[in-house]
Structures are given as structure tokens and as C-alpha cells.
Amino acid sequence: METKNIILTEDCLECLFKTTCNQTISQEDFDFLFQSTTQQNYKKGEVILKQGLKTNNLVYLLKGIVKFNYEDENKKNLILTITKAPTLLGLANILNEDVSIFSIVAIEESRGCLIDLDKLKMLALNNRLFMLNILKMSTGMFRSSIFNFISLAHKQVNGRIADILINLTKNVYQNNSFILSISRQEFAEYAGCSKENVIHTLRNFDNDNIIKISGKSIKILNLDRLIKISQVG
Amino acid sequence: METKNIILTEDCLECLFKTTCNQTISQEDFDFLFQSTTQQNYKKGEVILKQGLKTNNLVYLLKGIVKFNYEDENKKNLILTITKAPTLLGLANILNEDVSIFSIVAIEESRGCLIDLDKLKMLALNNRLFMLNILKMSTGMFRSSIFNFISLAHKQVNGRIADILINLTKNVYQNNSFILSISRQEFAEYAGCSKENVIHTLRNFDNDNIIKISGKSIKILNLDRLIKISQVG
DNA sequence: CGCGAGCTTGACGTTGTTCAACTAGAGTGG
DNA sequence: CCACTCTAGTTGAACAACGTCAAGCTCGCG
């Protein structure tokens, strides 16, 4: 894991976090935050925030794709969600002093910008619009987690896998064809079922010409039918 | 549904929301909020906040027990959680202008205090500690929803029902014996399974002397074993 | 060429749903 | 006060969904 003091790079100039801040934060305030940030590169599989540890920084993900991973008492993994850059990671830990309840792990080569949590809190206290932004992101995260929750809670495997494929197409890869960043095992941990069940279900979707599968490469042929499957459960 | 302009009652004098506010809000500010509040009584089954509608108030629940209910496209219900007074309802809708994504329904005779959302926002903008409190409640809600999520996502019915019983005992009724406020059907909507499965599972727990059931009356005999069942899934 | 990790497949047993029949209790109207 | 009805709860059996297991496959890599 390579760490370096930040120098203005092209990424930084286009940094969306900066853009967000500038709407509500003065240049001085931003510089105050900015001085303490460091950039990190993460290889596929590398842990960005670790479950069970206290963290004293947020990570603004500049580039890459990550999974939110929860490991239970029996060492079984559950993927809560998969999300792509740009996004702010670690919001759930802002105010609750407790440890992180899940890990965030890169599933593609990624780059993040570490933001000092104490400094951010200081700014938030002194800047109400900035805090409003953070509050908005936080409640937004809560709202979107509800839908995940609903999907897993009372849909069968068909519907859950349809939901995951829809999320990957629309939000993560934003393309009808993509190379899956996760293994079949991880897909199963996302869908909350066995990996064999994932394989069977994907095969069925392929046979029904809803998707085209070849190893890690997936092409969505009929998004409407996926949405229909998601709806009936 | 009975509405009346608020008059200071004993409830109000002990109002926890007021107590919370007073830590971070001036008496004038509190009065400003307070003047616009109205109290409501809710009968069992009555809807407090309705899914699909925009709301312009939060509800501070003074007394009673409520369920968070999501109705899907096929009119099937899912109970997201059950919680008791005192608590603040509607936080998920504070900033996202969208409609409520679930309903909140009284499952016991309840009383709530309606707080004008616009006025609350105004205060929050002008009072950073107060906003910090709200942010804390919001992220706290997110964190606790994760655990629900995990329970439903990769535990079998045994484990989920154990989780529900534990939640009811520890948090909702805060007693080893209680009279269930929900029907078997609703229990099933909470556990994400069929009502017959709920009945069978509760019967098994009874036969194993883990709980004692008689209609709606439930007594927890062996909390440790419930916790163990929850852990193995 | 051979090894190993991830992937795939089908058989089988377990878990959970659906269905249909039955029971108990709570109104309701004569 | 007794039918009658309606709803919630209960039970068991048939059936479908899903997980587990064991075997074989593929592909990249040494």
C-alpha cells in the first residue's frame, strides 16, 4: 500500500469532493482539510477500512470499485453492497464512536484520498451548509440500504440475483456489458445464497436469453425481463 | 384520529425531545418549535406516516409501539422493524425531498407529537449542535438497520425468529414475558417467511423449553439458547 | 506438462412454501 | 340465548426452492 503526501494532480483538480465542498466551504477551509490529506492506491482485494477497527479518517474514493463486506461470528462473509467511485466512504462512522461495523475492500484497482475525520468534524461544526451536505449523504445512504434490505428479505434467489445484475449494470459499471470484478463465491455472498445457486441461476438466465455469460464477462440482453423478475420476487 | 392544539401536559413536561433539545437549543428556539406542534392519538393499526406520501412533519412518539411497514408492488407487506416510544419518527425523510419509502403504523395505542419539518430545518441550520444530534440519530438508525439486514440476509428462519424474539424482549417490551402486539401474519412479514413457518418454529421453540407460548402471550425461558440459535444462523 | 484455484454440473437431502382442512374465539342478528 | 359467520390461528401433507456434497472441468501459471 503506497502512501505519499499529496501533490496537486489532475485527479485533485477534478476532485468531486472539492467541488462538493466548494459549494459550501471557503477556499481557506478547503485548504485546511486538503493539507492533511494523503492519497493511497489500493490493489484488488486490499482493505480500505477494516471491520472492528476505529478509523480516524474518511476516504474519498477517486477511482475504482469497492465492496462493503461484513464478516460474522462464524467467519462467513456477507457483501452489503458494491459501489464505484466517486464516493465518500466511512460516513457510517462519522459520529458513532464505535468501531466500523463492516469492512470496505477494493475489488478493482482503486485510489482514494484520506480525509482527517477530526478536521472534517471541526469544519462541519463551523459550517452548517457543509454539515447539511454530510447529513444528506448519510440519510441517502440509509434510504438506499433499505432497498437492498427489502430485496434480500422477501425475494427468492431469482429476484435477488436480478436485483444485483440491475445494480451492476445501472450503477456500478453503467454499461450493458461488463467484466465482473467478483468471484462466484463473492456473488453468492452478495445474494445471500450458495455459489452453486448463483451459477444455476445465471445459467438459467443465459438459457432464457436474458443475459449472455462467458466466465466473468456478462452482457445484459433483456433488462426489462430482469426488472420483471425482480418485481415478482 | 383526534387532533388538538397542544396544551402543556405532564407528558410535555417530561418530553424527552424537549430534554434532548434543551441540551443544544435555547428556550426561545424550543418554544418556537413547540408552538407549532400538535399532539395526536393513534389507535392500534392507525397509520402515522404513510408510504408514498410527502410529509412535512416529524413525529416524536411519546407513547406506544410502532412498526415500519413496506408494501411492495405486489401488495405484499414487509415489516422492517418494530420500535417503541420514546423515539423520533420520520428522520429518513428529513433531507431527501422524496416521498416516504415506508409507512409507520401504530401496533399499540400510541401518542405522538407532530413537529413541523420546515421549522426544525430552520433551527438545525442555525444551531450546529442540534444538527449534530440529528445527524447522530440518523447515522445511528443506519447502523442498526445494517444488523437487521444481516439477520435476514444470511440466516435461516430459526435464526431470524430468534433475532426477532430477542429484539422484542430486550428493546421493545423490555421484559421476559409480553403480550405480542402483532398477528402471526405480521410476525411472518417481519421474519420474511410464511406464517405457517412462524407457527411451526415457535412451536418447536416451545417444545424445546426455550419459550412458553399461549396465543399472543410469550414468555422467554432461555434467552441464552435463543442467542445461540441466532448466532449459528 | 502438471498443479491448483475457481468454476460447473447433477444428485440428494433439508428447509421452507403452498394448499386445504380444521379449530377456536369474537362479533352479529334473530 | 343460540345459531351463523368471519377472522386468526393451527396442523399436516405435497411440492418447490435451496444448500450440500462429490466429482469433473477449465484455465492460468510455474
Cα gap B42→B64, rounded to integer Å = 9
- Three cell numbers, residue A138: 448519510
Produce one character per residue of B127-157: b if its CB has 16 or more CB atoms within 10 Å, e if not. bbebbbbbbebbbbbbbebbebbbbbbbbeb
CB pair distance less than 8 Å for B146 and A233: no
In sequence order, what DSSP letters do the residues of B4-36 get, joined into one string?
EE----HHHHT-HHHHHHHHHS-HHHHHHHHHT
Task: Write down the pLDDT at residue B23.
Answer: 73
Q: Which residue type is seen at B204?
A: N
Work out if B217's Cβ lies within 7 angstroms of strand C: no
Chain A neighbors of B139, CB-CB under 8 A: 91-92, 94-96, 138, 142
Identify the residue whose Cα has the smallest distance to the C1' of D10.
B199
Of B102, B142, B192, the CB nearest to A153: B192
Cα gap B39→B162, rounded to integer Å = 36
Residue with cell 466517486: A86
Determine how β-strand A103-106 pairs with β-strand A110-116: unpaired
Name the strand (E) or helix (H) holding A88.
strand A87-89
Cα gap B203→B197, rounded to integer Å = 10
pLDDT band at B3, cuts 50/70/90?
very low
Main-chain phi, psi angles of B26, to 5 degrees:
-75, 160
CB pair distance less than 8 Å for B145 and A146: yes
CB pair distance less than 8 Å for B96 and A140: yes
Work out if A217's Cβ lies within 7 angstroms of strand C: no
Chain A neighbors of B91, CB-CB under 8 A: 139
As a whole-number percent, the residues of chain B with pLDDT over 90 amount to 51
Of B98, B136, B145, the CB nearest to A149: B145
CB pair distance less than 8 Å for B149 and A150: no
Within chain B, which residue ranges are assigned CATH 2.60.120.10? 3-144
Nucleotide nearest to A216 (CA to C1'): C7
Q: What is the pLDDT of residues A75-92, one digit of tens each?
A: 889 999 999 988 889 887
pLDDT, mean of residues A61-65? 92
Tell me which chain A residue has its CA closest to the CA of residue B139.
Answer: A92
Cα gap B163→B169, rounded to integer Å = 10
Within chain A, which residue ranges are assigned CATH 2.60.120.10? 3-145
Half-sphere exposure of B76 (CA within 13 A, CB side): 16
Q: Residues B3-144: name the CATH superfamily.
A: Jelly Rolls (2.60.120.10)
Check pLDDT > 90 for residue A55. Answer: no
Chain A contact for B227 (CB, 8 A cutoff): no
Which of A35-44, A162-171, A198-207, B212-221 has the weakest average pLDDT?
Answer: A35-44
Check pLDDT > 50 for residue B4. Answer: no
Chain B neighbors of A152, CB-CB under 8 A: 149, 152-153
Q: What is the pLDDT of residues A100-120, one digit of tens each?
A: 889 999 999 999 999 888 888
Helices (H), chain A: 10-13, 16-24, 27-35, 117-126, 128-154, 157-167, 184-191, 195-207, 223-232
Please say whether the structural domain A3-145 has been given the CATH code 2.60.120.10: yes
Give B30's strand partners.
none
Task: Write down the pLDDT at residue A212.
Answer: 95
Number of neighbours of residue A47 by Cβ within 10 angstroms: 15
Chain A contact for B194 (CB, 8 A cutoff): no
Chain A neighbors of B197, CB-CB under 8 A: none
Residues 6+ apart with CB under 8 A from A166: A223, A226, A227, A230
Residues 6+ apart with CB under 8 A from B126: A128, B29
Which of B119-128, B160-169, B206-215 has the weakest average pLDDT?
Answer: B119-128
Within chain B, which residue ranges are assigned CATH 1.10.10.10? 155-232
CB pair distance less than 8 Å for A125 and B128: yes
For residue A221, the 8-state DSSP code is: S
CB pair distance less than 8 Å for A150 and B72: yes
In sequence order, what DSSP letters do the residues of B181-230 get, joined into one string?
SS-HHHHHHHHTS-HHHHHHHHHHHHHTTSEEEETTEEEES-HHHHHHHH
Residues 6+ apart with CB under 8 A from A113: A6, A12, A15, A17, A37, A38, A39, A40, A59, A60, A62
Cα gap A111→A66, rounded to integer Å = 11
CATH fit for domain A155-232, picks 1.10.10.10, 3.30.70.1090, 2.70.240.10, 3.20.20.370: 1.10.10.10
Name the strand (E) or helix (H) holding B140.
helix B128-154
